[in-house]
Amino acid sequence: MRIVGTGRAHPAKIVPNSEFEKFLDTNDEWIRERTGITERRVISSEQLEELAAEASVKAIEDAGLTAKDIDYIICSNVVNEYITPSLSCLIQGAIGASCAAVDVNAACSGFIYALDMADDRIKSGKAKNVLVVAAEEPTRMVDWSDRSMCVLFGDGAGAVVVAEGDGEYHSRLTTTCKVDCLHYVRRLEPTPHITKDEPSGPMYMNGKEVFKTAVLSSSRDIKQLLDESGLKPSDIKYYVLHQANLRIVEAIANWLKLDMSHFPCNVNYCGNTSSASVPLLLDELARSGKLKRGDKILMSAFGAGFTTGACIVEWVK
């Protein structure tokens, strides 16, 4: 497969670190030094499906196609206001497509899982043009009175259109069930028959544990993909990594013995946008003319589960 179009959409509201100083015992210096974040884009009046549709339309236009040319939609999403219908279904309606649409929840790794499904769909001959969207609003999952959580996240949507192609593609997906480190549980509607305890509350994360797991798992995935494809770390033009914390990206760069010029970042002004972070960054690189035909890009992400996803894609747009 090859990526033939990219798009992104950010919410209008920008929340700088200084905003948190007004209601929490925190400060700009702590947030910047520990995470690399200076501001984040946060949903206020927008619906997530509007951002997802905007990113999708831009990706479809960039591919030189119309919504009618799309024959499958995969959306990576952890939460949005609808439990059902799926977000991909809402996107289908909003952009005027008529194809089948399905959601994937692999937490922050979801975009890479969705891209891999798109590759399968194309390889099997069941689709020609697949729209892959990642749309997330993690700011709605956290407790805004908890300084250790709410400063970390931002919202947004990124999209790509994938079509048949002969570019290089290698992928690696892993899932290891470890619920205690990172989870978000919502209580369902009560019934007269429920007798079990049902916890509910904002997202829980053991930050230190997730940090260590993230560095180790991404490094492992990257090494395996490089070995498998016979590439050296420096053969990769850009490592488009999940943007959870600048220190995680720096640790991986350090381990690969590469300078940060290979590691574009958006965490400084987007915060952690969950599975949207990789396609948001990819669109930024593509639209700023930084990607040239033949460039090899390595995308890697980790998230709740734990899930990890990584792939090497050749830019043949």
Q: How many CB atoms lie within 10 A of CB 33?
A: 11
- Using the minimum distance from each CB to ligand UT7, give the nearer residue, 31 or 310: 31
Contact predicate 225/172, CB 8 Å: yes
| # residues contacting ligand UT7 (CB under 6 A) | 19
Look up 193 and say whether it is catalytic: no
- Where would I find the beta strands (DSSP E) of the chain? 2-9, 13-16, 39-42, 72-76, 101-104, 129-136, 156-163, 169-175, 182-183, 204-205, 238-241, 296-303, 307-314
| Binders in 136-195 for ligand UT7, by CB under 6 A | 147-148, 151-152
> Which residue in the list 10, 242, 266, 311 is annotated as catalytic?
242
Smallest separation (angstroms) from ligand UT7 to the CB of 208: 5
C-alpha to C-alpha distance for 70 and 86, rounded to whole angstroms: 17
What does the block give as tokens for 223?
Answer: 């090494």
Q: Does 34 interact with ligand UT7 (rule: CB under 6 A)?
A: yes
C-alpha to C-alpha distance for 58 and 256, rounded to whole angstroms: 34
Interface segment toward ligand UT7; rule CB under 6 A; list 3-11, 71-79, 206-214, 251-259: 206-214
Look up 242 and say whether it is catalytic: yes
- Using the minimum distance from each CB to ligand UT7, give the nearer residue, 88 or 275: 275
Interface segment toward ligand UT7; rule CB under 6 A; list 44-52, 189-197, 203-211, 249-257: 203-211
C-alpha to C-alpha distance for 26 and 22, rounded to whole angstroms: 9
Smallest separation (angstroms) from ligand UT7 to the CB of 291: 25
Interface segment toward ligand UT7; rule CB under 6 A; list 52-60, 128-136, 210-218, 278-286: 210-218
Contact predicate 200/187, CB 8 Å: yes
Q: Which of 6, 35, 92, 171 binds ligand UT7 (CB under 6 A)?
A: 35
Task: Please name the residue that has the structure tokens 């381990």.
Answer: 255
Smallest separation (angstroms) from ligand UT7 to the CB of 44: 21
> Which residue in the list 108, 150, 265, 270 is annotated as catalytic?
108
- Residue 70 class from Cβ within 10 Å (0-12 exposed, 13-18 middle, 19+ buried)? buried
Smallest separation (angstroms) from ligand UT7 to the CB of 60: 28
Q: Which of 109, 272, 307, 308 binds ligand UT7 (CB under 6 A)?
A: 272
C-alpha to C-alpha distance for 239 and 282, rounded to whole angstroms: 10
**Closest by CA position to 11, among listed 39, 37, 44:** 44
- Using the minimum distance from each CB to ligand UT7, give the nearer residue, 33 or 198: 33
| Binders in 55-94 for ligand UT7, by CB under 6 A | none
Binding site for ligand UT7 (CB under 6 A): 26, 30-31, 34-35, 108, 147-148, 151-152, 207-208, 210-211, 214, 244-245, 272, 303
User: Would you please indicate which residues are annotated as catalytic (active-site) residues?
Assistant: 108, 242, 272
